[in-house]
Structure 1
């Protein structure tokens, strides 16, 4: 058995099946011309040998790994420059191969194929050994993708992409991450498992509604229905679907009807690996079909982006800071910021990096404004008056992202902290008009209702919003506890506050106020002691209490909170 060390280039045509279905003769002619006029000459010029053609794929070996990478870059740049119908993904590896006649095979070849699947549309992905061999010899910029779990490889493989090759030469909308940064997602037609063809409209309707509602999330690139539904009834692997559609993530599901019961299953899958990121099952009584369809759709699209964001954060944490994109810095800031003072400044550093990389990133400016505004409640305010910086950053965000639901939801909170409830209401309405499924916008509406004197309505709204996500983090229940306090439901507020596993220190002041209102002074003193022990030594609770009172539109509601703090002995 003969072996040798070789540089292997694996290339594959993106969306080949779809191109063939649309125009078989035209696609074959374009592919033939591409190989004759570009791929074959560039391969020969760089000293490569085409080992074999595999329909839409090709395998090439090179004696030099530098030549292999240079060839990959030259081909992709030419395709982008010529705006070719043919678009490729390319993977390059350096490894041991087994020779059998004119063919080669082995782990070195298999890894090149796996790398090709990880590449962006129009991009090049390389292994760590290739990076170590070429990064000091080529002027290209390399982006560390971290260690990747690859099929049939027992250990994670560190991979890199060449970051100065445009994946798709698209201009991003003002204030939004580029399409390269945005996660792309395809929602497949849900399988009708009922054995009743008449139920097909229901399973298709759920999928179509999810596509429509996910499209409201400007941070997602959602594949169109016509493309994702082309796989209906076919047993195509998700990896292949992801490659064809250029999708990073796949949503698939099924609908099963039994008597008057309906079971809907949904999964979020990483396309490149086939790994399941999230799965859920919904069992419902079948009464009003269309009402049920709306309920299930809203539940899925409220939770799914949160689970997707968790996967993206986990991915970005594998990468060194200097390789992060603006969007990934933004994700890190979201993950870092836990509504306390401890990580606020580190989150702001990540956001500053994001806006330095992309000065038109509206969501990053909006979160910067929110962190400044909310710092009035952390007992470590950022500056003498955090609302000044908060106003500046939110105005910048609104200028850049007038059509962004996230920006308007953040603006709602900022203007509430500033005591401008009418302005907050305008932005709350805009956020939910743009995206009625975004959990932060839904929660902000509840906060605004509560502090506008509509606490009973706030409780009803918040319970309904939180019901969509059984795994909601503890801090999302803060508004519900505060609304119960405002209604005089102190026992219920206490129950909600005490569910927090690691509450921010200001929560103990609220807890002390609840106990004091009930006349349970021993428990109130205990909560106040925990607050005093945990708060920063130089903090000013009077500043906090005034800021909290300013949240209230009605003077009597502001006095309700101040009364609780006075009874607990926290202010004079």
Structure 2
């Protein structure tokens, strides 16, 4: 018991139970077990997988499933029940399902806590073949999923010290599409999801770490161009750097079917790369190989690794995808190494003025070595955007923004369809207030890489400013799916989108998670205080506000709201009104 890992997080929990299980077993034990196994194999397990859920445990008559997205949990629950209704008619296996959003405690592979307990009570309240959800789940999904819940009122349940507001859904109550039309389904995630762990640096020289990391990042970028794969972002894959961990655990934590791991050894102009693809379900090897090449062949090796993974998973590549993978942006090895070094600084969480200066020097050297290197210009533009926010160079903000703008325009001229130039242009346009120009740039970037997590985040951030709140929620949830280790940042904006929709209970839940993950957040506490004000939790709001002022005594909510460039003035007022209700606005 001494090495058990205990932590907590905010999760959506699905609890399912078979109706009349004891009776069915008494009547026909063999037939019931056969029907149950078929249900799990053909309906339940595939549906959970499609919606990125993790089956925590299966009991004889039920199951407990964890999701990081409440939308995924609700879609999974209703899809299971709708499918069972169509398959069974009046007989066969029937389920009750409850869905809740709340805190859970993780201990090894199991989950406990209030969030789980409430989900179990909701499952008991569900109709046979139906779904029962908590008020926070109903508020969180709203009308985004096209699912109409019926208000079940306030109920008291065993071992829960507060009344629960519940909502019900049943397939037989769902209104059919008008005129016999079929509602189009949203595209589902591909069957395979992969995480590329940082390749181990076996060179015996810590200075070569940038090189092994850079190759890992290049492979991530190439794989993200394959439409048949979901590829986890670099931030989340690299969270395992230097750790010895069971790859099956990585699969559960990141929601991936496969993991790529390996090593890089560089000696002078020779490079050895080993790589192996692991199935996270059972830890088995799907593919492995070793490459001994000259440094000048490094681009070809990365290309081969990507294509071997595609082949091992029996995926098909379109001609365009094949061309995109082969396009590395430069043939100059030294320029690409400088680009790798610069990119390493961009993703380093402890970036400061010294690191920024080194990164800019590498970027300038990369474009000096290859003046046609579009991605290097794009990343260097982002470096100057960081300077605009952080004042690391000591130059005025306007000058930093002008440098960023000049570089990004050169980047786009060289690579009009490339990921980095368009992503940089979108980010810079967003902070220039050119929101309508930012979104088409993101479209171009994500036409090549639909798994670009920061692209989904930037899109969601822009859509909040534009007041497109349902779109923002969908896209921020997608960012969390692709980069769960960066959810602390995404959570702030996801909460803001729910808040501005008037979903204050949901917003407060997400903001409490944000405060838990980022202990010194001032903006998270400010929005939380406002949400609590709207909910009538005045004393708690005041305590949160006081904690915020201890972190940042000069905090000014109006200045921070102005930075968001919210297009609807009513949205800014909604934040201020929550603070007014808690009598906090005079302190801002």
TM-score by length of 1: 0.43
Rg: which structure is higher?
A: 1
